[in-house]
Amino acid sequence: MKQPLVSVVVPAFNRAQTVPAAVRSVLRQQYDPLEVIVVDDGSADGTAEAARAGGDPRVRVIANARAKGAQGARNTGILAARGEWIAFNDSDDEWLPGKLAMQLAVLRAEDFAKDLVVHGDVLKVDARQAARERFALPHTHGRSYASLLRRPGPMLQAMLAHRESFERIGLLDEAISAYHEWDTAIRLAEHCRFVHLREPLLCYSVGGTGTISADARRDVLGYAQVVRKHGADIARIHGRAGLRRHLQWLVRRAVSLGVPDLAAALRAEAVELGRLGGVRRALLERSCVPGALGELSHRLAQLYDLAASTSRAS
């Protein structure tokens, strides 16, 4: 049986120092045919040249006409991909040897069923690549829509899925500010089966300048966006308790942002979703504040509206 072409999309913004290693880690996989699509999202530091430096004909570099963010860059890569199967790597992460071989073995055993998403665990490394820690992601296996509404799941860099699956969900949502992989996994789970390999597939860089993990505010906003977007199904399948769990997570993040009054209000409401009015008014008042706190408060007020409607319906 002819081996299917795998396209690996690497979004990059000002990553000239790290993108060569990210690309090499993909090219070293024991698999062929393979193409790597590096999408330069408006870099000013020579990222495109660094990505081409190895001279490997399997590498294509595409420049976005305007900066679109990580999700927009990934969509550019998906649309340009020639392969049947799509995978991702970030420009500061590195795939481990054997990643694709393990994932393709699963697909081969399933006759390359188009509804499969194969993913696995990761190793977290610090910015100096000096320390590695096993990061076991929540078990996401089989039909997983309900479980993914409860908590985040696979990382995009660890996923391998058929291009038709991404086309079916209308590509990636560019409006989500963080937790892109969670939103993507939820949407894929509506028609896909997941296979979770309990092996680390890549080294995930944390703690560096500009990484998502360094931006707690964006994390909170993105999480609230995902919960709001899928809130109706969260409430339908998991009820008020499901919404409350998500609010409790947002409480912890509000504390980490140094906003104790907002955290206290959220904590009280997470315990009892019945008394919504006062907290909602406080959130709406804060939504007038410029910047991330105002945006967060506005989104949380929307979540409380959803919780209130769920409470009335139950």
pLDDT per residue, tens digit, the chain (314 aa), is: 689 999 999 999 999 999 999 999 999 999 999 999 999 999 999 999 999 999 999 999 999 989 999 999 999 999 999 999 999 999 999 999 999 999 999 999 999 999 999 999 999 987 666 667 888 789 999 999 999 999 999 999 999 999 999 999 999 999 998 899 999 999 999 999 999 999 999 999 876 554 433 466 677 778 888 988 998 899 899 988 888 788 878 777 767 766 565 556 555 545 544 333 444 444 444 444 445 455 555 656 666 555 555 544 54
Any domain includes 105 = yes
Mark whether 122 and 180 lie in a shared domain. yes
Of the residues 192, 213, 234, the one at which a domain ends: 213
Mark whether 183 and 254 lie in a shared domain. no
Of the residues 164, 182, 213, the one at which a domain ends: 213
Any domain includes 273 = yes
* Count: domains in the chain: 2
Mark whether 202 and 143 lie in a shared domain. yes
| pLDDT for residue 123 | 94
Any domain includes 253 = yes
Mark whether 74 and 111 lie in a shared domain. yes
Of the residues 193, 213, 233, the one at which a domain ends: 213
Domain that holds residue 282: 216-313
Mark whether 26 and 146 lie in a shared domain. yes
Mark whether 133 and 240 lie in a shared domain. no
Mark whether 138 and 49 lie in a shared domain. yes
Residue 43 CB partners (closer than 8 Å, separation 6+): 12, 13, 14, 15, 16
Any domain includes 231 = yes
Burial class (CB in 10 A: 0-12, 13-18, 19+), 46: middle
User: Is residue 222 a contact partner of residue 246, using CB atoms and an 8 Å limit?
Assistant: no
Any domain includes 60 = yes
Any domain includes 1 = no
Mark whether 142 and 181 lie in a shared domain. yes
Mark whether 162 and 241 lie in a shared domain. no
Mark whether 179 and 235 lie in a shared domain. no
Q: What is the Cα–Cα distance from 142 to 65, expressed in whole angstroms?
A: 39
Model pTM score: 0.83
CATH of the domain at 173: 3.90.550.10
DSSP states of the chain as a string? -PPPPEEEEEEESS-TTTHHHHHHHHHTSS-SSEEEEEEE-S-SSSHHHHHHTT--TTEEEEE-SS--HHHHHHHHHHHH--SSEEEE--TT-EEPTTHHHHHHHHHHHTTT-TTEEEEEEEEEE-TTS--EEEE------BS-HHHHHHS----GGG-EEEHHHHHHTTS--TT--S-HHHHHHHHHHTT-EEEEEEEEEEEEE-SSTT-GGG-HHHHHHHHHHHHHHTHHHHHHHHHHHHHHHHHHHHHHHHHHTT-HHHHHHHHHHHH-TT--HHHHHHHHHHTTSSSHHHHHHHHHHHHHHHHHHHHHH-
Mark whether 183 and 250 lie in a shared domain. no
Nearest Cα to 85, choosing from 181, 163, 8?
Answer: 163
